[in-house]
């Protein structure tokens, strides 16, 4: 409604200040200081630890909370060659934040969320993504339209009955699609998936957490490509 979001905790606030995001105001305890904040002439209001606790969503807000402006989200997306991860109706903010952070770790070129996925500026997403949210491109798209527009980019989907990611042929560029935590990938997207992948199960667990599964798949894709270069 107001086009703003909260960034909480000393380290994440520092990473926000170092990014291109517009920072409207910082609430910080008297022992908090940052040269970049002063250089950018960001308004800083000194508060007590009790006051900081009252406005925070965290149990331990760690010295500082910032209010930042939500940037305009690109709707007319054109993907270049590279590795992207797409999230279909991902609802859990912790999973979304973890995947964004992991995608940056493995050098992915962007994260694409379906229009009905979680709000990436939800405080829980921001906290889980840490500073990665301020650096890696994130887009909201109608996934079917996006995949059709970028038909030159193979889509790799996750399925329980898919081919093992450890033996499957993996492209150098493409889009890794992660499905909804409970229902998997929407069946309407299945015809657009070129590679159906799975993570082989050794134990008896019924399923993997979406964030964990995404991390394993991203790691193997990047490892394999690096090995072949």
Task: Summarize pLDDT for 127-185 with one digit per residue, the tens.
Answer: 999 999 999 999 999 999 999 999 999 999 999 889 999 999 999 999 999 999 889 99
Q: What is the pTM (predicted TM-score) of this model?
A: 0.93
- Going by C-alpha positions, the residue among 204, 202, 206 that lies closest to residue 181 is 206
Each domain of the chain, given as residue ranges in start order, spans: 4-69, 83-228
Classify domain 4-69 at the CATH topology level. Answer: 60s Ribosomal Protein L30; Chain: A; (3.30.1330)
pLDDT over threshold 90, residue 59 = no
pLDDT at 74: 73
Report domain 83-228's class.
alpha beta
Task: Summarize pLDDT for 85-135 with one digit per residue, the tens.
Answer: 999 999 999 999 999 999 999 999 999 999 999 999 999 999 999 999 999
């Amino acid at each position: 409604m107001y086009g703003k979001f909260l960034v909480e905790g000393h380290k994440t606030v520092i990473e926000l200040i170092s990014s291109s995001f517009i920072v409207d105001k910082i609430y910080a305890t008297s022992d908090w200081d940052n040269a970049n904040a002063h250089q950018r002439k960001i308004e800083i209001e000194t508060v007590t630890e009790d006051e900081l606790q009252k406005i925070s969503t965290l149990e331990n807000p760690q010295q500082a909370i910032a209010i930042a402006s939500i940037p305009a989200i690109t709707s007319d997306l054109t993907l270049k060659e590279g590795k992207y991860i797409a999230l279909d109706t991902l609802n859990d903010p912790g999973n979304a934040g973890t995947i964004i952070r992991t995608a940056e770790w493995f050098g992915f070129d962007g994260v694409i969320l379906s229009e009905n996925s979680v709000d990436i500026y939800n405080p829980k997403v921001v906290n889980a993504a840490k500073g990665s949210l301020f650096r890696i491109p994130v887009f909201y798209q109608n996934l079917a339209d996006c995949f059709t527009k970028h038909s030159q980019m193979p889509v790799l989907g996750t399925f329980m009955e898919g081919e093992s990611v450890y033996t499957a042929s993996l492209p150098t560029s493409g889009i890794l699609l992660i499905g909804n935590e409970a229902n998997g990938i929407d069946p309407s997207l299945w015809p657009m998936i070129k590679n159906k992948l799975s993570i082989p199960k050794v134990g008896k667990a019924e399923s993997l957490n979406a964030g964990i599964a995404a991390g394993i798949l991203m790691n193997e894709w990047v490892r394999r490509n690096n090995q072949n270069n």
